[in-house]
Amino acid sequence: MLKPVITVIIVACSYRDMRDDRPTTDDRTRLNRRSYLRTAGTVGAALGTGSLLSGIATATEIHLGEEGLQDGDDAGEYLANHIGDNREIVIPAGTYQYSTRAFTRGHSSGYADLVVRGEGEFGDVVFEHPDGYSFSEVIAANGGDVLVDNIVWRGVAGGNGNVTIRAHGGDEVTLRRIARPDGSNDHGEGVYVRPEHAGVANFEHCWLENFTDNGLYGSAPAGSHGNDGAVNVTGGLYKNNNIANIRIGGSNSTIEGATVVLTDEQRGLWGSSRAVNMRGIWVREGTGSNGHDITIRDCDVYNELPYAPIEIHPRSGGGSGVVEDTRVYNEGGAASIRHRGGDWSGQDNHATGSGNLRIETGTNNCEGPRCDIASDTPRVPIGDREGGPATAELPDMDPHLVTFITAEDSPVSEYRFVADGPIDALSDTPYDSPSGNAVRATSNYEITREDDEHVAEGSSANGYGDAFEVYGAISEASVDSEDMVIELDGDRVDADELVERTQPEEADDDETGGNYDETDGSDDTDGDPSPADDEQSDSDDDSLSNVIVVDGSASDDVSQYVLTVSGELERSEAHTSIVNEGLAWDALPSNVSEDRAIGVVGEGADGYRYTGNVISVEVRGNAALRIDREG
């Protein structure tokens, strides 16, 4: 009986335009290491700085630099004088004082269709206030959306010290690349989402650290008196905040790709009398109607303290959600993922460390030293931390696939390499390690740029590995342990070979015509007979140098397939075979067009030569797939 179709999408030179359409791990057949060859995509952070709200095409743009704002001026005062509905306010890169409340309307009034954005990279616009300053901003959307992008507030906040968020029903507030890394010394939150919040609040690649009363306090809408508005967290760093680093609760809320770190109780900042009870992620609210369908996915929670990394404990016992594909490092006594109420499930979560590794939600979880390790570093560099966001446009070229893979049960091994072009981390790939674990760069790595050099460094262990696409030549590479191996485009190499094989090819003098006598060349060949047509029919033509084979020789059933390439494709008799006279299916001719082959294999293999790249493969059955770019 024929099996359901499993589609493998192999995206080549145009894959960057198709990332959102790539298949998930559950949808595709995994290929072996030799078959990989520059496939898959990456989950990149969308950090655009152009027109940031589609609904305000007629918005009035106000550039505060043109209004007289200079370094050292009070940026809050300039904003307060120009802020209003249907406006896009641009703040030039610089460092400014901040002593005036900028958003002058209360949460009941709010703004409609407002953008406030800083120019440049994350960290280029800084607002400084004195330590102890009674910080307070209210950012609310009412009748339209609000976006605040690329501002770093520096200084220890006094008083309540928070940014208050509310979106009315049907509206959205988005904080993108907002940083408050210095925290508070009183009773402040980094961000507080009001219980009246009924719309959507988005926090994209933000940084909240050292606050005494929650970093992101977003659970109030899910309480018994809340309006159940959604709170979505994408990426970002939430570090050493008391009570909870991230606290959510509204229905349909999400936390995805966030890095949560607990390493310091901040006694020097908060004082010895402060009651400290830190959590990484806390689901605190949930009723019969509020706080349902929450998702926590693909996060890193790193905990060196005696507190709970992830705690699901709604005070009213309601709500529902799922925790999946999340990594926890735990040195504390509380369960790595603790479940104390509500209808919650989970899958594919990993817990490591010397503490309590129990995962109390779901199935197919991993607890122990062989599991994937949580990172304490965000995958997208944050704010004015060392480095800077790697948001440069990728070159229009085929990248190299570079992977660093550890042996099963091995300790942590570190790697580093330097390239003259961009390095793009792959967070999803059909490439398994020899231990059967996915090779993908989801944690424990950092990509930085130093002048014209791009640097990637990181670590892995326990049979896992990291994968990168490299757009250029590699000039340096190293690993610190024999437990880690390097592979380039599916081939095992050492550090020296990695450097050598990624260098650009030098032009041959003969190919450039430097010493070639065209007349002599013609005379030498005119007298030779042309090969017979049947001798040329097999695609041994150098122009068709790539090979793809669908191999059913090790399978007991019949497999159907469809292959599509970006160039030309021809059947290769040299790579086609039948085992033990095959099955009747093997006698069926394949349907081969210019760029596509449709066929059936039983106890045999069908081989093709092609140019360009493999665009897609559909396989129905258990046939193996082999791709060889060198023929």
Asked if 244 and 282 count as a contact pair (C-beta separation under 8 A), the reply is yes
Is 50 or 220 the better-scoring residue by pLDDT?
220
Here the tokens at position 132 are 């102890």
Examine residue 539 and state whether it is found in any structural domain, yes or no: no
Number of domains forming the structure of the chain = 3
pLDDT value at 213 more than 90: yes
Neighbours of 434 (CB within 10 A): 13
Q: Hey, what amino acid is at 500?
A: E
Q: What is the 3-class SS of 423-444, one letter each residue?
A: EEECCECCEECCCCCEECCCCC
Using only C-alpha atoms, the chain has a radius of gyration, in whole angstroms, of 28
Examine residue 493 and state whether it is found in any structural domain, yes or no: yes
Helix and strand totals (H; E) in the chain:
6, 49
Render pLDDT for 232-265 as a digit per residue (tens, 0 to 9). Answer: 999 999 999 999 999 999 999 999 999 999 999 9
**Torsion angle in degrees (nearest 10) through CA of 268, 269, 271, 274:** -130
**Torsion angle in degrees (nearest 10) through CA of 614, 618, 624, 629:** 0
Neighbouring residues of 228: CB distance < 8 A, sequence distance ≥ 6 = 198, 221, 222, 250, 251, 289, 290, 291
Examine residue 389 and state whether it is found in any structural domain, yes or no: no
What pLDDT was estimated at residue 532?
39
Cα-Cα-Cα-Cα dihedral sign, residues 607, 612, 618, 623: positive
Tell me the residue range of the domain where 609 lies: 546-629
pLDDT value at 432 more than 80: no
Examine residue 43 and state whether it is found in any structural domain, yes or no: no
Indicate whether 409 and 317 sit together in one domain: no
Render pLDDT for 83-111 as a digit per residue (tens, 0 to 9). Answer: 999 999 999 999 999 999 999 899 999 99
How big is the CA angle at 567 (ends 562 and 568), to the nearest 5 degrees?
75
Here the tokens at position 533 are 């047509």
Q: Worst-scoring range by mean pLDDT, 45-54, 104-113, 552-561?
A: 45-54
DSSP 538: S
Asked if 420 and 374 count as a contact pair (C-beta separation under 8 A), the reply is no
Here the tokens at position 295 are 């998702």
Residue tagged 């641009």 (tokens):
90
Neighbouring residues of 58: CB distance < 8 A, sequence distance ≥ 6 = 86
Q: What residues form DSSP beta bridges with 600? A: 560
Indicate whether 114 and 238 sit together in one domain: yes
pLDDT value at 202 more than 70: yes
Q: Cα–Cα distances in Å, from 120 out to 77, 123, 155?
A: 21, 8, 21
- pLDDT category, 585, cuts 50, 70, 90? low
* 296-327: b (≥16 Cβ within 10 Å) or e: bbbbbbbbbbebbbbbbbbebebbebbbbbbb
Indicate whether 310 and 430 sit together in one domain: no
pLDDT, mean of residues 338-360: 96
Render pLDDT for 599-631 as a digit per residue (tens, 0 to 9). Answer: 888 778 899 998 887 877 888 788 888 888 764
Indicate whether 495 and 551 sit together in one domain: no
What pLDDT was estimated at residue 433?
77
Show which of 466, 482, 501 is a domain's final residue: 501
Examine residue 508 and state whether it is found in any structural domain, yes or no: no
Q: Hey, what amino acid is at 517?
A: D
Here the tokens at position 375 are 């990172």
Indicate whether 496 and 552 sit together in one domain: no
Indicate whether 190 and 315 sit together in one domain: yes
**Torsion angle in degrees (nearest 10) through CA of 359, 365, 370, 372:** -90
Show which of 321, 340, 357 is a domain's final residue: 321
* pTM score, whole prediction: 0.62
Indicate whether 195 and 291 sit together in one domain: yes
Indicate whether 478 and 563 sit together in one domain: no
Q: How many residues does the chain have?
A: 631
Question: Which among 200, 35, 213, 20 is positioned nearest to 617, based on CA atoms?
Answer: 35
Render pLDDT for 522-539 as a digit per residue (tens, 0 to 9). Answer: 344 344 443 333 333 343
Render pLDDT for 442-477 as a digit per residue (tens, 0 to 9). Answer: 667 888 887 789 999 988 888 888 899 999 999 999
Cα-Cα-Cα-Cα dihedral sign, residues 53, 57, 63, 67: negative
pLDDT value at 185 more than 50: yes
Asked if 627 and 599 count as a contact pair (C-beta separation under 8 A), the reply is no
Q: Cα–Cα distances in Å, from 179 out to 33, 152, 153, 182, 203?
A: 40, 5, 6, 9, 11
Examine residue 418 and state whether it is found in any structural domain, yes or no: yes
SS3 content of the chain, % helix, strand, coil (to 5): 10, 40, 55
Examine residue 441 and state whether it is found in any structural domain, yes or no: yes
Indicate whether 242 and 317 sit together in one domain: yes
pLDDT value at 540 more than 50: no
What pLDDT was estimated at residue 629?
74
Q: Worst-scoring range by mean pLDDT, 179-188, 202-211, 619-628?
A: 619-628
What pLDDT was estimated at residue 73?
97
CA distance 43 to 257: 10
Indicate whether 561 and 475 sit together in one domain: no
- pLDDT category, 552, cuts 50, 70, 90? confident
Show which of 264, 299, 321 is a domain's final residue: 321
Render pLDDT for 13-42 as a digit per residue (tens, 0 to 9). Answer: 322 333 333 333 333 233 332 222 222 222
Indicate whether 317 and 409 sit together in one domain: no
Q: Worst-scoring range by mean pLDDT, 6-10, 75-79, 198-202?
A: 6-10
> Kind of pairing, strands 279-283 and 246-248?
parallel
Indicate whether 275 and 415 sit together in one domain: no
Examine residue 416 and state whether it is found in any structural domain, yes or no: yes
CA distance 427 to 439: 9
What pLDDT was estimated at residue 597?
86
